[in-house]
Protein backbone atom coordinates (compact mmCIF):
# COMPACT_ATOMS: atom_id res chain seq x y z
CA UNK A 1 0.00 0.00 0.00
CA UNK A 2 1.28 3.45 -0.90
CA UNK A 3 1.75 6.01 1.88
CA UNK A 4 -1.15 8.35 2.57
CA UNK A 5 -0.37 12.02 2.04
CA UNK A 6 0.04 13.94 5.30
CA UNK A 7 -2.58 16.51 6.29
CA UNK A 8 -0.73 19.63 5.15
CA UNK A 9 -3.35 22.00 6.57
CA UNK A 10 -3.00 20.43 10.03
CA UNK A 11 0.80 20.55 9.86
CA UNK A 12 0.84 24.22 8.86
CA UNK A 13 -1.80 25.24 11.43
CA UNK A 14 -0.03 23.37 14.23
CA UNK A 15 3.34 24.91 13.30
CA UNK A 16 1.88 28.42 13.17
CA UNK A 17 0.02 27.97 16.46
CA UNK A 18 3.20 26.80 18.14
CA UNK A 19 5.26 29.68 16.77
CA UNK A 20 2.83 32.61 16.98
CA UNK A 21 1.81 33.80 20.41
CA UNK A 22 -1.21 36.04 20.80
CA UNK A 23 -2.77 35.30 17.40
CA UNK A 24 -5.76 33.14 16.55
CA UNK A 25 -4.77 30.60 13.86
CA UNK A 26 -7.46 28.89 11.77
CA UNK A 27 -7.98 27.08 8.45
CA UNK A 28 -11.09 29.15 7.62
CA UNK A 29 -12.35 32.60 8.66
CA UNK A 30 -14.23 32.00 11.91
CA UNK A 31 -17.61 33.44 12.79
CA UNK A 32 -17.04 36.45 14.99
CA UNK A 33 -13.60 36.97 13.42
CA UNK A 34 -13.53 40.64 14.50
CA UNK A 35 -13.31 39.49 18.13
CA UNK A 36 -10.42 37.13 17.30
CA UNK A 37 -7.91 39.64 15.92
CA UNK A 38 -5.04 39.31 15.36
CA UNK A 39 -5.96 36.39 13.12
CA UNK A 40 -4.05 34.08 10.78
CA UNK A 41 -5.99 31.98 8.25
CA UNK A 42 -3.81 29.41 6.47
CA UNK A 43 -4.92 26.67 4.11
CA UNK A 44 -3.94 24.69 1.08
CA UNK A 45 -5.01 26.08 -2.28
CA UNK A 46 -5.18 24.33 -5.66
CA UNK A 47 -1.82 23.53 -7.18
CA UNK A 48 1.23 21.61 -6.13
CA UNK A 49 2.14 18.01 -6.70
CA UNK A 50 2.36 14.68 -4.94
CA UNK A 51 4.30 11.51 -5.67
CA UNK A 52 3.76 7.79 -4.99
CA UNK A 53 5.98 7.91 -1.87
CA UNK A 54 3.45 10.24 -0.19
CA UNK A 55 5.56 13.39 -0.55
CA UNK A 56 3.29 16.38 -1.05
CA UNK A 57 4.39 19.75 -2.41
CA UNK A 58 1.53 22.08 -1.48
CA UNK A 59 0.69 25.71 -2.10
CA UNK A 60 -0.40 27.40 1.13
CA UNK A 61 -2.38 30.66 1.25
CA UNK A 62 -1.70 32.62 4.44
CA UNK A 63 -3.83 35.65 5.31
CA UNK A 64 -3.03 37.74 8.37
CA UNK A 65 -5.49 40.25 9.79
CA UNK A 66 -5.24 42.88 12.49
CA UNK A 67 -7.06 46.09 13.43
CA UNK A 68 -4.18 48.23 12.15
CA UNK A 69 -1.98 48.06 9.05
CA UNK A 70 1.33 47.92 10.91
CA UNK A 71 0.11 45.01 13.07
CA UNK A 72 -1.22 43.05 10.09
CA UNK A 73 2.02 43.57 8.18
CA UNK A 74 4.16 42.51 11.14
CA UNK A 75 2.00 39.43 11.73
CA UNK A 76 2.31 38.41 8.06
CA UNK A 77 6.08 38.79 8.09
CA UNK A 78 6.35 36.90 11.39
CA UNK A 79 4.10 34.08 10.12
CA UNK A 80 6.44 33.71 7.13
CA UNK A 81 9.46 33.31 9.41
CA UNK A 82 7.62 30.84 11.68
CA UNK A 83 6.54 28.66 8.75
CA UNK A 84 9.99 28.77 7.11
CA UNK A 85 11.67 27.79 10.39
CA UNK A 86 9.15 25.00 10.97
CA UNK A 87 10.01 23.56 7.56
CA UNK A 88 13.74 23.94 8.18
CA UNK A 89 13.37 22.15 11.55
CA UNK A 90 11.18 19.44 9.97
CA UNK A 91 8.19 20.18 12.20
CA UNK A 92 6.42 16.93 13.03
CA UNK A 93 2.66 16.51 13.25
CA UNK A 94 0.37 13.54 13.79
CA UNK A 95 0.91 12.02 10.35
CA UNK A 96 3.83 13.80 8.75
CA UNK A 97 6.65 16.33 8.64
CA UNK A 98 7.13 19.69 7.00
CA UNK A 99 10.43 19.72 5.16
CA UNK A 100 10.86 22.50 2.57
CA UNK A 101 9.72 26.11 2.25
CA UNK A 102 9.65 28.46 -0.71
CA UNK A 103 8.14 31.94 -1.23
CA UNK A 104 5.67 32.13 -4.10
CA UNK A 105 4.23 35.60 -3.46
CA UNK A 106 3.75 38.20 -0.74
CA UNK A 107 3.20 39.16 1.92
CA UNK A 108 1.21 42.01 0.38
CA UNK A 109 -1.77 44.01 1.58
CA UNK A 110 -5.16 43.06 0.15
CA UNK A 111 -8.12 45.45 0.28
CA UNK A 112 -10.69 43.44 -1.70
CA UNK A 113 -12.74 40.34 -0.96
CA UNK A 114 -14.43 39.11 2.16
CA UNK A 115 -14.22 40.10 4.87
CA UNK A 116 -14.35 43.67 3.67
CA UNK A 117 -11.32 45.79 4.56
CA UNK A 118 -11.99 48.92 6.55
CA UNK A 119 -10.49 51.34 9.05
CA UNK A 120 -10.26 48.60 11.69
CA UNK A 121 -9.41 45.60 9.48
CA UNK A 122 -6.20 45.24 7.51
CA UNK A 123 -5.19 42.01 5.75
CA UNK A 124 -1.96 40.79 4.23
CA UNK A 125 -1.78 37.71 2.04
CA UNK A 126 1.09 35.49 0.97
CA UNK A 127 1.46 32.18 -0.83
CA UNK A 128 4.15 29.67 0.07
CA UNK A 129 5.16 26.28 -1.26
CA UNK A 130 5.83 23.71 1.45
CA UNK A 131 6.81 20.07 1.21
CA UNK A 132 5.32 17.51 3.55
CA UNK A 133 6.20 13.86 3.87
CA UNK A 134 4.51 11.06 5.79
CA UNK A 135 5.89 9.56 9.00
> Which residues are bridge partners to 97 per DSSP?
92, 133
CATH number at residue 125: 3.30.2000.30
User: Is 12 part of a structural domain of the chain?
Assistant: yes
Output the pLDDT for position 2: 74
Spell out, as residue ranges, where the chain has pLDDT lower than 50: none
User: Is 2 part of a structural domain of the chain?
Assistant: no
User: Is 51 part of a structural domain of the chain?
Assistant: yes
Output the pLDDT for position 50: 75
User: What domain range includes position 101?
Assistant: 8-134
Domain count, the chain: 1
**pLDDT for 6-41, tens place per residue?**
999 999 999 999 999 999 999 999 999 999 999 999
Contact 94, 10 (CB under 8 A): yes
**Which helix (H) or strand (E) segment is 110 a member of?**
strand 96-110
Output the pLDDT for position 127: 98
Output the pLDDT for position 15: 98
Amino acid sequence: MRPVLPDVDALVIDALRQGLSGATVRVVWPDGWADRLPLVVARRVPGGTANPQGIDVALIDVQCAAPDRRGASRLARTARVVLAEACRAQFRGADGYLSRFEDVSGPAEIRVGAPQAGPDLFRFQATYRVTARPI
